[in-house]
């Protein structure tokens, strides 16, 4: 059976982090983005269908290819711009899983902008839920995530800290059961502004549903 990607025109809310930036670095990023998108898009267009829940050992049954309307590579600061636009345009639901979400109250950084945008989405009637990593020891990562968790909950966002006996290293966002952002970006000032990072924006309702099922399985029964 021949599989075609969806033909509907996607909402284009991704973009570059600094629209005014010029020069060799921008051109190099453009070339890299086009090359990597060309390399990965054929794979994304024919991602295997995962039927039902994941099987023991993290494996899943393969049925048929997934339908992907569009995919975009998000390099470095592009990710934060795309995520903020996605949050601001969300209509029903935002679900995210982050290894590290470091916010500093009254700061002006990108993580603060994301937190405020998420809380503003709740004010518009959007349901927002988040999974954050928690280690056995009270280390910096656990303290940072615990502080962000308190602020998210004060803003009306349900948060789950994962079980400390197994690391949750996922950096995954699903918006309105259609848009998926996945890749290397933590939600920190370093990752969102300074580091070399690479993530992917995908418009695919079937893939979004599978990502939601996976994230919800990480913290079943532990939400507050």
Has residue 3 been placed in a domain?
no
* Other beta carbons less than 10 A from residue 49's beta carbon: 16
Sole residue written with tokens 């935002």: 94
Has residue 19 been placed in a domain?
no
Domain count, the chain: 1
- The pLDDT, as a whole number, for residue 193 is 95
- Whether the predicted pLDDT of 178 surpasses 90: yes
- The mean of the pLDDT values for the chain is 79
From CA 94, how far away is CA 79, in angstroms rounded? 16
What tens digit of pLDDT does each residue of 75-122 get? 999 999 999 999 999 999 999 999 999 998 888 899 999 999 999 999
- The pLDDT, as a whole number, for residue 26 is 59
- The pLDDT, as a whole number, for residue 106 is 81
- List the beta bridge partners of residue 96: 130, 173
What tens digit of pLDDT does each residue of 132-167 get? 988 777 789 889 999 999 999 999 999 998 877 788
- The pLDDT, as a whole number, for residue 97 is 96
Has residue 135 been placed in a domain?
yes
From CA 178, how far away is CA 207, in angstroms rounded? 8
Question: In this structure, are residues 74 and 181 in contact, taking their beta carbons and an 8 Å threshold?
Answer: yes
* Other beta carbons less than 10 A from residue 184's beta carbon: 14
- Band the pLDDT of 18: cuts 50, 70, 90: very low
Domain range for 145: 68-218
- The pLDDT, as a whole number, for residue 165 is 76
Give the DSSP H/E element, type plus range, for residue 94.
Answer: strand 93-98
DSSP 129-180: EEEE---SS--HHHHHHHHHHHHHHHTT-EEEEPPTTS-----EEEETTTEE
Has residue 57 been placed in a domain?
no
Has residue 1 been placed in a domain?
no
From CA 66, how far away is CA 203, in angstroms rounded? 11
CATH number for the domain harbouring residue 110: 3.30.870.10
- The pLDDT, as a whole number, for residue 25 is 54
- Which residue has better confidence, 142 or 39? 142
CA distances from 139 to 134, 143, 146 (A): 9, 6, 11
Has residue 186 been placed in a domain?
yes
- Which residue has better confidence, 39 or 212? 212
- The pLDDT, as a whole number, for residue 161 is 86
Has residue 121 been placed in a domain?
yes
- Which residue has better confidence, 152 or 40? 152
Percent of the chain with pLDDT over 90: 55
Has residue 35 been placed in a domain?
no
- Whether the predicted pLDDT of 51 surpasses 60: no
- The pLDDT, as a whole number, for residue 56 is 36
From CA 172, how far away is CA 181, in angstroms rounded? 6
């Amino acid at each position: 059976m021949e599989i075609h990607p969806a033909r509907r025109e996607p909402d284009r809310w991704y973009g570059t982090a600094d629209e005014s930036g010029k020069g060799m670095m921008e051109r190099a990023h453009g070339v890299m983005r086009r090359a990597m998108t060309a390399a990965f898009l054929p794979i994304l267009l024919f991602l295997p269908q995962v039927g039902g829940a994941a099987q023991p050992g993290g494996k899943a049954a393969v049925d048929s290819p997934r339908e992907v309307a569009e995919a975009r590579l998000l390099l470095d600061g592009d990710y934060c711009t795309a995520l903020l636009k996605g949050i601001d345009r969300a209509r029903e639901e935002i679900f995210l899983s982050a290894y590290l979400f470091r916010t500093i109250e009254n700061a002006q950084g990108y993580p603060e902008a994301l937190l405020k945008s998420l809380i503003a989405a709740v004010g518009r009637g959007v349901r927002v839920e988040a999974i954050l990593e928690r280690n056995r020891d009270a280390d910096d990562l656990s303290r940072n995530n615990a502080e962000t968790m308190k602020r998210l909950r004060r803003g009306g966002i349900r948060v789950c800290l994962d079980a400390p006996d197994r690391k949750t290293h996922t950096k995954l966002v699903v918006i309105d059961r259609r848009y998926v952002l996945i890749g290397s970006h933590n939600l920190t000032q370093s990752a969102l502004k300074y580091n070399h990072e690479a993530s992917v924006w995908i418009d695919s309702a079937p893939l979004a549903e599978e990502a939601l099922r996976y994230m919800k399985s990480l913290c079943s029964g532990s939400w507050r």
